[in-house]
Structure formats: structure tokens, C-alpha cells
Copies of this chain bind each other. A is one copy, B any other.
Amino acid sequence: MITSPKLKLSGDRFTVTYLLDSPLKEAEHRASGIAVEQTIEFPVDLVDDGDIRTKLVGQIEKVAAQNPKQTRVIISYAWETCANELTQLLNVIYGNISIQPGIKVLDFMLPAAVDEVFDGPGFGVDGLRKRHEAQDRPLICTALKPMGLGAKELAGMAGEMALGGVDIIKDDHGLSNQIFAPFKERVKYCCEAVQKANQQTGQNTAYYPNITAPGSELIDRAKEAENAGAGGLLFSPGLTGWDTVNWLRSEGVNLPTMAHPTFQGTYVLHSDIGLAHAVQYGKLARLCGADSSVFPNYGGRFSFTKDECLSIKHSCLEDFNSFKPIFPAPGGGMKLERIEELISFYGKDVILLVGGDLHRGESISTASRQFRETAEQAASRLYPH
């Protein structure tokens, strides 16, 4: 029998809303299991009735039938269980139970205490609008690719895109440090090309190199990018972990970041497991400190529905503790002819991502200019002053 010490707790708690694939009665029982699994992971009958059992084990706040087969459960956890660490916070929200079928994280709510622990987005919507001097329109973004091109060829492409008025030019998420265009060389040439174009246009196009890398390399690459004059950084939390932006900041790197969704689709593809779209691409992206969040748009090469995309948009923009709103960045096989539709759907606070389609026109700079003008015109038509 475990004798619980007296625990000094703040009383702050965070709550997680789970959807269980069980009817009400069974869900009540399962909820108790989750409350234990995610905290003490220990047989409760072997713990005395002191603080561990009464305060550390998750508390079931609400159990309500969603329909005859599914039940919504809200569990609260003592803030201290997460040790002020994003990794451990995620571990409590959805660690071991990620391996149990039929549990979906629909939402989570954090106490005010979180504001002193996690910085969240350093720039957010307002910060990026200021950097790009773009108050009344969506930002537009494209990617450097395909893999296989050399650093100078990619830089030439970046220059054209910048001349055409693209706000953010990111590396394709598959460009890391391949021999074709090694990171250092690529970043140097692309930064130079974009800076040169900016001098010509008077605009502030930003190049976002992809810093997704092994642990031993990631910070060096980010610093290298910052020193070379990159305007932001692309990273993939599915490969480097959700704590990446906090880590960058602790090392003094303070550039806008864009989260890429690669390697983490399994969290959202099925409705009965994982994280809700709004949690993964909205709340978590903000909590982790990303300033924009890439996700596959409806009607492209992927399968997200309009409702799922809308939920992501809301989660990026609506109130969430003191965290800045961030840009949703739908992409994945988008074409220029859909720009107006997308602005009408998402509103102005969106980063529109068009990749391969910019290479279909007579030149990349022309297609980029058309991208920018289409977005500006659609925005002022749809949202007149």
C-alpha cells in the first residue's frame, strides 16, 4: 500500500475533452481508467486515500452521451502533473491512451498559469502582417522544389517568386541536407536571392528554410538560417517533436515559424482515435509556438472535409489563453483558380499555399504576380473597406 505524502499543489488544473466509442455506462468506467492511466498509472486500490489518489489522479468532471454509441468525457488534471513541460503535458493529455482504441481528444483547456510557462507564438497573425506590411489581405506562400535541383537553381526560383510578390517562400518539407542542395549552400543562395529581389520591389518577402533535422543539427541549422537572413523557419513537429519552437527560443533563435504536418496524419485520419483536427493543427500548433500551421486543404490531394478545415481555422484564430492567433495555412495541390474560393471560405486571415501550380505559367515570376494580384483583388472584392 502506497502512503501518499501531503502534496503542495496550486489548485490549477487543465481539462481534456475525450470522445469515447462507448455508451454512457461503459464510458464512465473507462473514464476512471483514463484518469489513472494518464497520471499515476498504478492500481488505485494500492494507494491510500491521501493526496495522490484525491488530487493527482485525473478527476472526471463530466460524462455525457454524444449519441447511443459515443460518450463525451471531460477529465481535469492537476497542472503540476505536466511539470511545466510541453512534452509531459502531451503525455498527460494523450500518452498511453493513444495506444488504447476508441479515444479521441476533442479539445483541451489550460489554466492561466500556462501563460507564464509557454510563450506560444512569437509573432502570430499581427506580427506576420506587420513583417509583410499586409494588413488587409491573405498572405501568399509557395515552396521551393523539386528535390534534385541545385542550390543556385532553387535560389533563382526563389528570386523570381519574390519578384512576383510572394510573401513567404518556404523550402519544400522534403528538402533537408541532401547532396543536391546542401542546407548551408541553399540557405545562403536563397537568402541572397530574396534579399536582392526585396531591394528591387521594396517588399518583405521571407524565405523559410526547412530546419527539420536530427537533434544534433537542428539548432545549428536554425542559427545558420538566422545569420544568413532567413525570414522564418519551417519545421515538422511530427519528426522533431512538438517542443521544437520552445527549444529554438531557448537557444536565442527568434524567427517566425511555420509548422508542417508531415508524418503525423495518423492522429487525425480516423474519427475514433487521435486528436481532433482543431487540436492538432490549431491549438497544439499555437501552444507549441508556431506562427502559422500548414494543413491539407479540402479538395486537393488529401481528404480533409470543409468542416474539418473550418475547425482548424477557428482554432488558429479564436481566443486561447493569452496565445496570439496564428495563420491557418491550407495547401496540398492548390491551384491559382481556387484563390477566390479559398479566401471566401477562410476569410482574410489565412496563408494561401500554392506549390507546383506556380510552374504552369509562362514564368514563375509572372505566375507569382498573378497569385498575389488574384489574392489582393479577391480580398478587396470580398472584404471591402
Contact = CB atoms under 8 A, between A and B. Distances in A.
A299 interface: no
A157 to B, nearest CB: 9
Contact of A250 (B39, B40, B178, B216): B216
A265 interface: yes
A246 B95 contact: no
A33 B273 contact: no
B178 A80 contact: yes
A118 to B, nearest CB: 10
Nearest to A237: B241
A119 interface: no
Contact of A215 (B40, B241, B357): B241
Interface in A12-48: 33, 37-43, 46-47
Contacts of A51: 148
A39 B174 contact: yes
B37 A180 contact: no
B241 A85 contact: no
A342 to B, nearest CB: 18
Contacts of A251: 216
A219 to B, nearest CB: 8
Contacts of A172: 41-42
A198 to B, nearest CB: 25
Q: Choose among A153, A172, A176 the residue with the greatest number of B CB atoms under 10 Å from its CB.
A: A176
Interface stretch (A66-74, A256-264, A321-329, A369-377): A256-264
Contacts of A360: 43, 46
A83 B238 contact: no
Contacts of A52: 146-149
A313 interface: no
A243 interface: yes
Contacts of A216: 246-247, 250-251
B147 A39 contact: yes
Copies per assembly: 2
A381 interface: no
B238 A214 contact: no
A177 B85 contact: yes
Contact of A83 (B148, B149, B177, B267): B177
Contacts of A269: 99, 101, 270, 273
Contacts of A303: 99-101
A366 interface: no
A4 interface: yes
Interface stretch (A86-94, A108-116, A129-137, A343-351): A86-94
Given A148-B52, A355-B42, A273 B266 contact: yes
Interface of A: 1-2, 4-5, 7-8, 33, 37-43, 46-47, 51-52, 56, 80-81, 83-88, 90-92, 94-101, 143, 145-150, 153, 172-174, 176-180, 212-218, 236, 238-244, 246-247, 250-251, 261-270, 273-274, 296, 301-303, 355-357, 359-360
25 contacts: A2-B146, A4-B148, A4-B149, A7-B148, A8-B179, A40-B146, A41-B143, A47-B146, A56-B148, A80-B180, A85-B177, A87-B236, A91-B176, A98-B264, A99-B261, A99-B296, A99-B302, A99-B303, A101-B269, A214-B247, A216-B246, A216-B247, A240-B241, A266-B273, A270-B273
Closest 7 CB pairs of A and B: A215-B247, A99-B265, A40-B146, A98-B265, A52-B148, A42-B146, A216-B250
